Chain A
Amino acid sequence: MLKEYIDAIKSFAEQYLPVINVPVELWYIVWLFIFGGIVLGGMMMFGGLGAYMERRVAGFLQSRLGPNRVGPQGLLQFMADGIKLVLKEDLIPAAADKILFRLAPYVLFIGTLGVFAALPFSKYVGITNLNLGLLYILAISSLVVIGIIMAGWSSGNKWSLLGAMRSVAQIISYEIPIGICFLTIIMMAGTMNMNTITDLQSGSVINWYIFRYPPITLILFLIYFIASMAEVNRTPFDIPEAESEIVGGYHTEYSGMRFAFFYMGEYGNMFAVCAIASILFLGGWQSPLPFFILNELFGDYAVLTAIEGFGWFLSKAMFLVFMMMWLRWTLPRYRVDQLMSLCWKVLLPFSLACMLIIGFWMLK
């Protein structure tokens, strides 16, 4: 993949920019910046649009309308919210540890953003093609925990501290079932490379990993979905920011743009786990049909494949995001100890059993 990029850029440069005779490696760096900017912008957009979508979905679930005033159908609501947050006073509580307090939102945001680096958005589209993609994702997303505990500790607020403690306990425990789900997928695919995992699910819907060893992989998918919901603090696992119990949790004291970073981090994280779920279990950018519709209609162009693949990827991930929102606005939340017992007594044994069964199945 890397070579494809470089070749493409090289030919582009030779064709249109013959005056600039620079090494190809520099072009690669420029490409990274461009794509990184696109992803960063896209994720920030998703932070806003996700919040809009959430409020709209919630509105319809609760027999009301939700935001519908700013722009067509309220689509520009996130701009208004963003402007409001930027213009807010930059408040830091007197009791706060100022350096950590300032740093925490960015650490959390980097942890979220880092995940996007390894995601294959479509055929030929992605920032990098890491061979250890899954391991990298597992590692970089742990940075979120550090951001949360920094925020909770540095706020100088007891509710924040309680929220941070809850959050760390929760995320660390739920990383174990997630890790086992990853491990099973790695076992099935024989690789940690996200692109290869996606390629292995090509063909049609029956080749998706969710249907590979029925119904074990389906259970595995559900375990991953539940655990990832806990990982990103969504109801019924929104214990770290349980409003009625500990006010705002770790971001109680945050306001303005710092709060917006937490918010974008949260929605970005939500999108990231849903994207990972769709890549690992639902074939990522692969079409559910044996062919790509656009290719069938207009000929075998790589661009069309990339565009349609991106569409499939986005729709799968967004469907899972919608599922998370649906659950959030329906269910109450667990208590801390109940959450832990769900993780250690239900999800962990079940995921281990799934891994074992699939292992034996593959041996057969």
Chain B
Amino acid sequence: MSQNQEPTTIVKNAATRMSEVVLGEEMLINMGPQHPSTHGVLNKVLKTDGEIISEVFPQVGYLHRGLEKIAEKLNYHQFMPYTDRIDYLASMNCNMAYAMAVEKLASIEVPKRAEYIRVVMAEFNRIATHLVFMGTMGLETGAWTPIVYGFREREEILDLFEMTCGQRLTYNYMRIGGVSDDLPSGFVDKARRFCDMLEQKWVEYNNLLSYNQIFIMRMAKVGVLPVDLAIDYGVTGPVLRGSGVKWDLRKNEPYSVYPELEFDIPIGTGELGQVGDAWDRYMVRMREIKQSIRIIRQALDKMPSGEVRAKVGRIFKPAAGEVYSRAENPRGELGFYVVSDGSANPYRLKIRTASFNNLSAVPPISKGMMISDFVMTLGSFDIVLPEVDR
């Protein structure tokens, strides 16, 4: 069965398959939408022979909210809160990607200080979401403690965000032309202290989980994603880097103030198994936490004073035209394709999310896997369902 068939066809085919399944040795299992390891509401129809999976059909759409259509009915500012809900674990990054797209469309100059604040926030959010990933990856393997540790440190980041914009999950902090408010007093000190603290905790995570022998046995050589397959399926972000491709939009297509900051791009090297296995993807994210700390420290040092928001009208009408702008989100490339017809609302807004493309690469590599390995593979792709369905 090919990838681009419609869900209804898949269901129909699944039903016709039932007959052969009943007659043969294979079993059809619905994994999800209510299943502990679906990370939301995703239905995977598994065709298995005992524990061995022969085919996987992911069925998406449970969380479809029609965000793209909603955008057409709202003006550019009004759509900002909706971008929080694209990837609820990395709202800042989604805010930033959307703001960048509109600024590019309307040619709005963003003040330097605002750019730095945006980068600090985006990187903090990257750390927060990677901490959640570390915890959930632990849960997939049956270790219950890492998630508590991950959430404990994420809490501090949320405190920082709450200090800044009053929200803890859906921030709606960035504005077209800057950010809503300047950093509160005491933010910089607290952020620095957090960075120092997290560096110590990072070692603890690795001792507890990353280099745990059982964890390595479960992750290494599991769910290997070959480079060519990854590129064919448009996989981006840590998943692509886990396969050994040095592709990071912050370096390859620099935006905001990233060119002024020094950082490395960790990639999977297959040090404990094969290049592109689940452990590589996991470790890329863990190492990105360290790089994000580096970026935050530099950005806090270099941050100039000044305005945090350019003068943008409440209702503004960009000239007719179209623009595609993308940013490196924790889960990969988040792209906004915005078409303006000269009115106050976008004529069309297309959101390209990383999770959707990344998820599409799961079925081809999960043939012949055990159910346990499939859980690890899906977990290491770190998809977020609202981002898949929008």
Q: Say yes or no for B141: interface residue by CB 8 A criterion.
A: yes
CB-CB under 8 A from B379, the residues of chain A are: 244
A-contacting residues, B118-151, CB 8 Å: 138-145, 148-149
Whether A330 lies near B36 (C-beta < 8 A) is no
Interface membership of chain B positions 359-390, coded 1 if the CB is closer than 8 angstroms to chain A and 0 otherwise: 00000000000111101000100000000000
Q: Say yes or no for B306: interface residue by CB 8 A criterion.
A: no
Whether A331 lies near B143 (C-beta < 8 A) is yes
Question: Which secondary structure dominates chain B's binding surface?
Answer: helix
Whether A335 lies near B370 (C-beta < 8 A) is yes
Report how far A337 CA is from B212 CA in the complex, Å: 18
- Interface range for A: 20 to 34
Q: Say yes or no for B65: interface residue by CB 8 A criterion.
A: no
Chain B's nearest CB lies how many Å from the CB of A304?
42
Whether B27 lies near A332 (C-beta < 8 A) is no
Q: Say yes or no for A238: interface residue by CB 8 A criterion.
A: yes
Whether B27 lies near A238 (C-beta < 8 A) is no
- With A332-B209, A332-B218, A333-B214 as known contacts, state yes or no: A162 contacts B371, CB within 8 Å: yes
Chain B's nearest CB lies how many Å from the CB of A152?
14
Q: Say yes or no for A158: interface residue by CB 8 A criterion.
A: yes
Whether A338 lies near B217 (C-beta < 8 A) is yes
Residue among A64, A166, A236, A333 facing the most chain B CB atoms (10 A cut-off): A333
Report how far A238 CA is from B142 CA in the complex, Å: 8
Q: Say yes or no for B215: interface residue by CB 8 A criterion.
A: yes
CB-CB under 8 A from A162, the residues of chain B are: 50-51, 371
CB-CB under 8 A from A158, the residues of chain B are: 27, 29
B-contacting residues, A330-354, CB 8 Å: 330-338
Q: Which of B212, B218, B371, B373 contacts A246 (CB 8 A)?
A: B371
Q: Say yes or no for B35: interface residue by CB 8 A criterion.
A: yes
B-contacting residues, A172-222, CB 8 Å: none
Q: Say yes or no for A296: interface residue by CB 8 A criterion.
A: no
Residue among A246, A335, A338 facing the most chain B CB atoms (10 A cut-off): A335
Whether B145 lies near A61 (C-beta < 8 A) is yes
Report how far A166 CA is from B51 CA in the complex, Å: 9
Whether B148 lies near A62 (C-beta < 8 A) is yes
Report how far A334 CA is from B139 CA in the complex, Å: 13
Closest to A161 in B: B27
Closest to B215 in A: A332
Whether A247 lies near B36 (C-beta < 8 A) is yes
Q: Say yes or no for B208: interface residue by CB 8 A criterion.
A: yes
Chain B's nearest CB lies how many Å from the CB of A338?
6
B-side interface residues, number (CB < 8 Å): 31
Whether A242 lies near B145 (C-beta < 8 A) is no
How many A-B pairs with Cβ below 8 Å? 81
Closest to B141 in A: A332
CB-CB under 8 A from A90, the residues of chain B are: none
Chain A's nearest CB lies how many Å from the CB of B362?
16
Whether B148 lies near A337 (C-beta < 8 A) is no
Whether B370 lies near A336 (C-beta < 8 A) is yes
Q: Say yes or no for B152: interface residue by CB 8 A criterion.
A: yes
Whether B375 lies near A331 (C-beta < 8 A) is no
Report how far A164 CA is from B110 CA in the complex, Å: 60
Whether A243 lies near B143 (C-beta < 8 A) is no
A-contacting residues, B20-50, CB 8 Å: 27, 29, 35-37, 50
CB-CB under 8 A from A271, the residues of chain B are: none
Report how far A166 CA is from B50 CA in the complex, Å: 10
Whether A247 lies near B35 (C-beta < 8 A) is yes
Q: Say yes or no for A63: interface residue by CB 8 A criterion.
A: yes
Closest to B219 in A: A332
Closest to A59 in B: B148
Whether B142 lies near A332 (C-beta < 8 A) is yes
B-contacting residues, A216-273, CB 8 Å: 235-236, 238-239, 242-247
Chain A's nearest CB lies how many Å from the CB of B126?
24
Q: Say yes or no for A140: interface residue by CB 8 A criterion.
A: no
Q: Say yes or no for A28: interface residue by CB 8 A criterion.
A: no
Report how far A334 CA is from B216 CA in the complex, Å: 10
Whether A330 lies near B143 (C-beta < 8 A) is yes
CB-CB under 8 A from A236, the residues of chain B are: 142, 214
Report how far A14 CA is from B27 CA in the complex, Å: 68
Whether A335 lies near B37 (C-beta < 8 A) is no
Interface membership of chain B positions 145-169, coded 1 if the CB is closer than 8 angstroms to chain A and 0 otherwise: 1001100100000000000000000
CB-CB under 8 A from B214, the residues of chain A are: 236, 331-334
Q: Beyond A242-B372, A332-B142: 5 further Cβ-contacts under 8 Å?
A: A58-B144, A63-B149, A331-B142, A332-B141, A334-B217
A-B contact pairs, 26 of them (CB 8 A): A58-B144, A62-B144, A62-B148, A63-B148, A63-B149, A162-B51, A162-B371, A165-B50, A235-B143, A239-B372, A244-B140, A244-B142, A245-B37, A247-B35, A330-B143, A330-B145, A330-B208, A331-B142, A331-B214, A332-B141, A332-B209, A332-B212, A333-B142, A333-B218, A336-B372, A338-B217
Chain A residues within CB distance 8 Å of chain B:
58, 61-64, 158-159, 162, 165-166, 235-236, 238-239, 242-247, 328-338
Q: 7 smallest A-B Cβ distances: which pairs?
A: A333-B142, A332-B141, A332-B143, A62-B148, A244-B37, A335-B372, A244-B140
